[in-house]
Amino acid sequence: MNEKNPLDNIKPKMIALPSTDAQLGQLIGELASENPRAIIIDFFQATIVVHPSGVGGKPKLTEESIPYLLSNFHIEMLDKDPVSLKTASDILKKEYNSCSIVFHIQHQKFEYELQLGERALWTKLIAPSIALIIQQKTDQSDWKIYGLQIETN
């Protein structure tokens, strides 16, 4: 049985630290061209640890992710008049097919009507008059956030 172990592709590689800064720079450039998830230089142990892009898998958007996203990514407001919750869910389905939407928790009572399933998240961190459409641009946690004004009665 001479099959390759699929876990070999996700194990981090440990490499000895080169002796000169020039060699270190060249090595980092070569390693970066492989598009790893992380390159960690440990000067104390004189090693470089390279985590392949497959390590950890694709990050999943959850309610717990929202504070991180709000503090690290710009919100681009969509140029639309305030819309109803139903219109917001229709916009998501038609124009942002691979995205998720975040509503204030007070709107959760309409969850069944919106028919968004796992694509909808609920939080107290945003105003009831705002919905966030969140798009994961890459598997490496690059995100785009769109804001949409919601009608409040």
The domain spans of the chain are 6-51, 63-149
Q: What per-residue confidence (pLDDT) applies to 141?
A: 62
Q: What per-residue confidence (pLDDT) applies to 93?
A: 84
Please enumerate in sequence order all residues whose Cβ is within 8 A of that of 110, keeping only pairs 6 or more positions apart, or say none.
85
Report pTM: 0.61
Q: What per-residue confidence (pLDDT) applies to 5?
A: 44
* pLDDT tens string 22-66: 999 999 999 988 888 889 998 888 999 998 876 455 667 888 888
Q: What per-residue confidence (pLDDT) applies to 140?
A: 60
Q: What is the DSSP string of 38-58?
A: EEEEETTTTEEEEE-TTTT-S
The structure tokens 């892009």 sit at 53
Q: What per-residue confidence (pLDDT) applies to 92?
A: 86
Please give the Cα distance from 22 to 88 (Å, whole number): 53
- Residue segments in the chain with a per-residue pLDDT below the cut of 50: 1-7, 55
The structure tokens 């007070």 sit at 106
